[in-house]
Structure 1
Amino acid sequence: MPVTVLLVDDEPLVRAGLRAVLDAQPDIEVVGEAADGASVIPLVRQLRPDVVAMDVRMPLLDGIEATRAVLRSVDSPPKILVVTTFENDEYVYQALRAGADGFLLKRARPSEIVHAVRLVAEGETLLFPSAVRALAAEYGNQQARAVLKRAALTDREEAVLRLMARGLTNVEIAGELIVGPETVKSHVSAILGKLGARDRTQAVITAYESGFVSPA
């Protein structure tokens, strides 16, 4: 079954460009489009996409609020990939904190767009560039530190979380630690459970905000 995608952007040219790139892939299918965040929930309920490619700045309802609304209102919500012009836009980070699974720059190459969609569809973390890491550090807070302390991660779980924060996939982490991918998958599941994180991206945000991982 192909990965199904809903495109949400107020610029028709952006939607057309993304559709052309994604529909050219045999394992990806664009199933719908929307021009504003207010249309997302009914379309998600109707089309049940695997991934929503969501512009962060839109009229009526921006990508941050639309992300919150989808995660709050839809059972088994799709993965959300925020599409943005600037990687250091605070709106992007707020969308990630709201529950988005990753972000994609509008100037990205076609191969990068396809890779991003496949990666979030598989539940992996997109690499956090330095600009986003710096924003995460600025948002450091006592709550994140308390969550990490309460989680009481094992030494191996801490090692896995650090590698997750670098954007490594399960297979890449397995290579770094010289263990099997299934072992890494078990560690990741344990980390998410202990941190109370919805997914890998939320776990990585906690790692940066708590100071457990440095943005350097």
Structure 2
Amino acid sequence: MLREVARGSSGRPRIVALTTGETGPAWTTRALRAGVRAVLPRAAAAEEVVLAIEAVAAGLVVLHPDRVDALRRVQPGQDRSHRAVRESLTARETEVLTMMAEGLGNKRIAARLGISGHTVKFHVASVLGKLSASSRTEAVTIGLREGLIMI
């Protein structure tokens, strides 16, 4: 029974997230897009958690009222969503960012992609600029956090 509740008809896990107060509307949006089906504060009562699990098992999405209020307060364009970031990176820039996350240097990226080292430097600079990152490490961190790449 528990396995049936935990997985939907698609066979994918249904996720209930308990959050700290530090997560904002952008996090909630990313979580929902990633497959989370319920977002509750960590301080939620046990009864609320049980009800959320039952609702998710029935195919519903559950958001705590404070999450809904926070989402309502966000104005379009107020903060740069991960969709805007994702759309701003080209497919090649995303490939380069993924290889940066693997720890590859410019020469190895160039060899893997069959392009010149100069072109790789151009792509790396473009990724850093578009992500407003000051280093390769920061770019990879942003890419992971925003769901642009996975390692």
Q: TM-score, normalised by structure 1?
A: 0.32
Q: TM-score, normalised by structure 2?
A: 0.45
Higher-Rg member (1/2): 2
